[in-house]
Chain A
Amino acid sequence: MALQSLDIARRSATTTPAPGVRQTTEVAKLIDVSTCIGCKACQAACMEWNDIRDEVGSCSGVFDNPVDLTAKSWTVMRFAEVEEKGKLEWLIRKDGCMHCADPGCLKACPAPGAIIQYANGIVDFHQENCIGCGYCVTGCPFNIPRISQEDNKAYKCTLCSDRVAIGQAPACAKACPTGAIQFGSKEQMTDYAAKRVGDLKSRGYDKAGLYDPQGVGGTHVMYVLHHADRPELYRGLPGNPSISPLVSLWKGFAKPLASVAMAAVALGSLFHFVMKGPNEVSKELEDEMEKEDAQ
C-alpha cells in the first residue's frame, strides 16, 4: 500500500523520473536472530496494524504458523533445528520482504506505479495499479510476493510505510518483547548490528555477522546471524542473492533491443516499398492472359 508521496526513488514500468523532490533518510529494520524467541508477537502486530486476518490453518507438525507467507500473512517466523558442534540450535528467522536497494520485483513489474521505492528505501506495492501478472514473484530473489486468490493482486510487507512516513517504527518492531527487531536509519542499524556481532563473537560465535547482501545492492531489512557464513541454515536464506540473470536479460537488455529491432523491421519494410516500389505482375503476362481470354 502506497501513500501519495514526494519522495519516490523508483516507480515500476516508468521511464521518466518519479516525484522525488523530498529527500528522506535511508531506513532499515534490523532483525537480530540471536535474540529472537519465536513468540510471533511480530506476526500478531502485523495482522493488527494492517487489519488483515488470514485463514486459520492447521498444525503442520512444526512451530511455523502459518506455514508460509500468504497474501494475508506478510511476515512468518521460520523455525530451523540444526546441530552445531554437537549441540542443538533452534534458529528462528522472521521472514518477509527484505526491501532490496535493487528490487527484482520492481524491475520485473510491467504495470506503471504498481511498485514504488521510496527515497528511504522502502519498496511498496500499490495494489490499485497491480494487474496480477505475478512478474514480481518471478523477479524476487527471496520468494516473497504472494498473489491473492481472491482479488489477484500481489501483497507483501510494506515495512509499515504508513507508520514510517509519520516517524513511527514498524508495528513488528514496536511489538517485539526482546528487542530483536530494531528500527532506525540504515547507518544506526549497521552500527547497532556491529555491536551485536561483537557480542556474539565474544560468546564463541566467531562467524557471526550482518546479513546485508550486496548482490541486491544491500537490503533495508537486515539480519544479525550467528552463522553469517552459512545463511542457508536459516531455512534457506539465500547466500548471495541477486536478481536472476534471466530477469535482467528479460527486463533489462532485451526490452530496448527488441523494441528497436521490431521498429527497424517495420520501418525497413516501408522504406523498401518507397525505394523499390511494388512488385507488380508484368504487363507482358497480363497482355498474354487478355489475349487468351479474347480467343
Chain B
Amino acid sequence: MIRNPKDLTRYNAQERANHWLVGICFILLALSGLAFFHPAFFPLTQLFGGGVWARILHPFLGVVMAAAFLVMFFRFKSLNVMTAADKEWLSRAGEMIDGNDHNMPEQGKYNGGQKAMFWAMSLCMLLLFVSGVFLWRAYFNLPVDVVRLGAVVHSAVAAFMIGVTFVHIYAALWVRGTVRAMVYGTVTRAWAKQHHRAWYRQVTGKS
C-alpha cells in the first residue's frame, strides 16, 4: 500500500514476512512455554488443544523460529554494528525514556537501543535453541544433569526474552508511526528525520 509516494521504504516484503514469521512463532512459544513454567499459566495449553499438544508442538515451533531468526540475523547483522554514537545514545537513553529525545545523538537506521536489543535477542535465541534441544525428550536422551542445566537456562533466558520482547513491542507502539514500518514497509520522512536522522540523510540525500 502506498500512502504517500514520498514515504521512505524501511523494510521490504521479504524482511517483513521474515520478521512476522519469527514474531508469530515467538508468541506461540511464549504462550505454550509459560504453561510449562508456572501452574498459573497452565490453562494457556488450551490454546494449543491441551497439554499434550502444547508439549508436542512447542519444540517444532522452536525449530521454525530458530531457522527464521537465523535468516533474519544474517539480513540485519551488518546494520547492527555498534558505533561510538550508539554508545553515546545508550549512555543517554534515560533522557529518551523520560520523553525528551531532542538532544539525542543522531542515529542511523538503528539506534543504540535497537542494536543492543538485536544482539541480546540473537544471544537469547542461541541459548534457547541449544537448551531447548537438551529438553526435547521425544528425540534426545541426554544425561540428566545436562537436562537440568538446560531447564534452568531455557526458562531463565525465555523469561528474560519475554521481557525484552515486551520492551520491543512497547517501543514500537510508543514511538508513533513505527508499527507501519513492519506492517506495510514504509515510514514518513518526518518520522525518519526525527528518529533516524543519519539514515534519513543517507536515503534522501538531503541534509
Interface residues of A (CB under 8 A from B): 13-15, 110-112, 129, 131-135, 137-138, 143, 147, 152, 244, 246-247, 249-250, 254-256, 258-259, 261-262, 265-266, 269, 272-273, 276-282, 285-286, 288-289, 292-293
Interface residues on B, range: 35 or more
A269 touches B194 (CB 8 A): no
* Minimal Cβ-Cβ distance residue in A for B159: A258
A246 CB contact (under 8 Å) in B35, B135, B148, B173: B148
C-alpha gap A134/B136 in the complex (Å): 9
A247 touches B36 (CB 8 A): no
Which residues of chain B from 29 to 46 have a CB within 8 Å of any chain A CB? 35-40, 42, 45
A272 touches B188 (CB 8 A): no
B39 touches A281 (CB 8 A): no
Q: Write out the residue numbers on chain A whose beta carbons fall within 8 Å of the beta carbon of B6.
A: 289, 293
- Say yes or no for B147: interface residue by CB 8 A criterion: yes
C-alpha gap A152/B51 in the complex (Å): 12
B188 touches A289 (CB 8 A): yes
A278 touches B176 (CB 8 A): yes
A132 touches B36 (CB 8 A): no
Q: Write out the residue numbers on chain A whose beta carbons fall within 8 Å of the beta carbon of B156.
A: 254, 258
B36 touches A280 (CB 8 A): no
C-alpha gap A110/B154 in the complex (Å): 15
- Say yes or no for B18: interface residue by CB 8 A criterion: no
Which residues of chain B from 41 to 57 have a CB within 8 Å of any chain A CB? 42, 45, 50-52, 54-55
Q: Write out the residue numbers on chain A whose beta carbons fall within 8 Å of the beta carbon of B40.
A: 15, 259
A254 CB contact (under 8 Å) in B45, B155, B163: B155
* Stretch of B81-89, B96-104, B105-113 contacting A (4+ beta carbons < 8 Å): B96-104
B163 touches A131 (CB 8 A): no
- Say yes or no for B193: interface residue by CB 8 A criterion: yes
Q: Write out the residue numbers on chain B whose beta carbons fall within 8 Å of the beta carbon of A293.
A: 6
CB distance from B78 to the nearest CB of A (A): 27
Additional pairs, 18, CB under 8 Å, beyond known A131-B45, A132-B138, A289-B6: A110-B42, A112-B42, A135-B36, A137-B137, A137-B147, A138-B144, A143-B144, A244-B145, A250-B155, A254-B156, A258-B155, A259-B159, A262-B163, A278-B176, A279-B176, A280-B176, A281-B194, A282-B194
